[in-house]
Chains A and B, each alone.
Chain A
Amino acid sequence: MALAKASAPTIEPAVTVRGLVKRYGEIEAVRGIDLDVTPGELFGFLGPNGAGKSTTIKILCTLVTPTAGQAKVVGLDVIKQRTAVRREIGLVFQETTLDDYLTADQNLRFHGAIYGMPRRTIASRIEEVLELVGLADRRESPVRTFSGGMKRRLEIARGLLHSPRVLFLDEPTIGLDPESRQVLWKYVDELRRREDITVFLTTHYMDEAERCDRIAIINSGEIVALGTPASLKGAVGDDRVRIVTADNDASILTIKKKLRVDAVPDGDALLVAVPDGESFVPKLFGIGLSVQSVSVSRPTLDDVFLAHAGRRIGDEEQAAPRRWMGMGR
């Protein structure tokens, strides 16, 4: 183990993408993407529907051939070493790909065989992955008796069965109710603790992107921002510190003089924009202000998306159902 850790920095990236382009006729779904994913990372692809997330993930999974550029998964070329790449990755698609008529066990055994797993390890590995997603007691149940959330968890278990080095989750919580989403994430966290694996996921939910080690924000086929959720939010703007004091006018002057920042009145409070709100707050108490209340708010990933794409990620989400309703009438 110690050796493995020591040699970790020399291991090739889990995913490498250079100048990736995918065109469908006139439409350019992916327009020159560059990307590196570190082994062990939980990497998120955040963007609205139709931004090119799924196309990119399909290229990485060897399901779609790129028009131009290069993509490697654990050092293997997705075009030239297709079969080898497939052995090293686990896939969970947006839509279910289970056989409803088979039991969970039969689905997993099928998977083990087509992935060429050694026969003697299959049974114990099935038990392990089912236990990991909390379905060990449903091993012999037909999949058609499973709920949507259970099916998704079984698919994650199946994706892990052959011990892939990268697990791709394409919108893993789409179509699930909030409670099932919560449960699913609990298991994703658990599998990251137990398995030595890189997780690459796409999502259009802000709260899911927040959970990632790093995210790439994708819009109209291009990566518009890439980094940790904190650094991305830090880059768009400062934290906003809202202060209520006994004498706001006097406080503005004091803050300006002692801390060299501008406070602006906002109703009965003062607003201060600073890069790091939490470390700013204690300073307020050392300069003789009579502070009555303080709150710090951060920019959200939605603010990040807005800053880079010029619109909110939820805009079309909200528009879409309305369109459907209109069509129904």
Chain B
Amino acid sequence: MTTQAVPSRIEFAPVASPIGGLSHELRAIGIVWQRDMTRMLGDKARMISTLLQPLLFLFVLGAGLSAAVSGSSHGANFKTFLFPGVIVTGILFTAVFSAISIVWDREFGFLREMLVAPISSSSIVIGKCLGGATIATVQSVMILALAGTVHVPYRLGLIFGLLGVVFVTSFTMTAFGLVLAARVKSVQTLMPLVNMMLMPLMFLSGSLYPLGPQSPRWLDVVSRFNPLTYAVASSRTLVINSLAKSNPTRALFYPPTWSGWAVPGWLDVIVVFGVGVALLAGACLMFARTE
């Protein structure tokens, strides 16, 4: 015991790993990510609420809307159509809220503990972004498990394809939340702002209804500037393509167009990812400058 108490910094200082190196920054990103995981697992209420909300969309809104829509579109299953949109809507909220937890960290002081460390503030922002993306992806796995209940086939290719789209979308939405969190310093101001921003994003993405020639012209135009439209379109492309050729649900989906050219699913994902990278870079810059 006594021999253990004696060594102090004399023993530790020389073996400390080099600071500021890439491996140190990666480790910092890892621990910021890990903290978000630890906190998510410890927060049962949050886990349940993030799971319940998409179920509400899928089964309550889905049931109500299918009844209204089915009359006009001959045997199409609206819930099948809605499924990818519900996934994207679910991760939208989870990702953004997980990102703005950094505002709580600021309020409770922990952000300071992170920012005074000998690491780049970008590592914290990137760790947070990957954390939010992971949490949102895990949440969507639970919804993906329900695919069969709305006649989306359980195919390995489809499931992994959707997971890929989900992760990229979650990443982009968390980065969006981080940009908001960098700008707005207090929780009281941020909450209404987030609601004000998320609702239009959600409703203008075609996640909960079909966009296409039947939509009003302005809606069709505005939706093309919404990154979430491409997230919905790419996951919907995957789901629609997995259905039989004769399935009338296929007719509900129109991919977004750029001056008449239908944007393919893979390009949708690239658009979402590109926006995410740009937002993340912006968030890193803003945190480096203001904190």
Is A318 an interface residue, CB under 8 A from the partner?
Answer: no
Interface residues of chain B: helix, strand, loop or mixed (majority): helix
A158 CB to closest chain B CB, in angstroms? 8
Which of B71-79, B111-119, B190-198, B236-244 is near enough to bind chain A? B111-119
A39 CB to closest chain B CB, in angstroms? 12
Closest to B13 in A: A163
Is B216 an interface residue, CB under 8 A from the partner?
Answer: no
Closest to B28 in A: A114
Chain A residues in 8 Å Cβ range of B105: 99
Q: Do residues B17 and A98 form an inter-chain contact, with CB atoms below 8 A?
A: no
A82-99 interface (Cβ within 8 A of B): 83-84, 86-87, 91, 93, 95-99
B 75-101 binary contact with A (CB < 8 Å = 1; else 0):
000000000000000000000000000
Interface residues of chain A: helix, strand, loop or mixed (majority): loop
State A128–B12 Cα separation when bound (angstroms): 12
Chain B residues in 8 Å Cβ range of A109: 31
**Would A91 and B116 be within 8 Å (CB), given that A102-B39, A125-B12 are in contact?**
yes
Q: Do residues A87 and B10 form an inter-chain contact, with CB atoms below 8 A?
A: no
Q: Do residues B118 and A101 form an inter-chain contact, with CB atoms below 8 A?
A: no
Q: Do residues B42 and A101 form an inter-chain contact, with CB atoms below 8 A?
A: yes
Closest to B117 in A: A114
Is B109 an interface residue, CB under 8 A from the partner?
Answer: yes
A193 CB to closest chain B CB, in angstroms? 10
State A182–B43 Cα separation when bound (angstroms): 36
Chain B residues in 8 Å Cβ range of A194: 5, 8
Chain B residues in 8 Å Cβ range of A106: 35, 38
Q: Do residues A102 and B38 form an inter-chain contact, with CB atoms below 8 A?
A: yes
Is A138 an interface residue, CB under 8 A from the partner?
Answer: no
B275 CB to closest chain A CB, in angstroms? 29
Q: Do residues A117 and B35 form an inter-chain contact, with CB atoms below 8 A?
A: no
State A152–B108 Cα separation when bound (angstroms): 14
Which of B19-27, B134-142, B259-267 is near enough to bind chain A? B19-27
Closest to B17 in A: A116
Interface size counted on chain B using CB atoms at 8 A: 36
State A159–B105 Cα separation when bound (angstroms): 19
**Would A97 and B113 be within 8 Å (CB), given that A116-B118, A117-B16 are in contact?**
yes
Q: Which of A84, A99, A158 contacts B19 (CB 8 A)?
A: A84
Chain B residues in 8 Å Cβ range of A91: 116
Q: Do residues A110 and B35 form an inter-chain contact, with CB atoms below 8 A?
A: yes
Is B48 an interface residue, CB under 8 A from the partner?
Answer: no
Is B45 an interface residue, CB under 8 A from the partner?
Answer: no
Closest to B112 in A: A97
A58 CB to closest chain B CB, in angstroms? 10
Is B30 an interface residue, CB under 8 A from the partner?
Answer: yes
Q: Do residues A195 and B8 form an inter-chain contact, with CB atoms below 8 A?
A: yes
Is B157 an interface residue, CB under 8 A from the partner?
Answer: no
Q: Do residues A98 and B110 form an inter-chain contact, with CB atoms below 8 A?
A: yes
**20 contacts across the A-B interface (CB closer than 8 A):** A62-B116, A83-B19, A93-B109, A95-B109, A99-B39, A99-B113, A100-B108, A101-B39, A102-B39, A106-B35, A109-B31, A114-B28, A114-B31, A114-B114, A114-B118, A116-B24, A116-B28, A118-B17, A158-B113, A195-B9
Q: Which A residues contact B (CB, under 8 angstroms)?
A: 61-63, 83-84, 86-87, 91, 93, 95-102, 106, 109-111, 113-118, 121, 124-125, 128, 131, 158, 162-165, 194-197
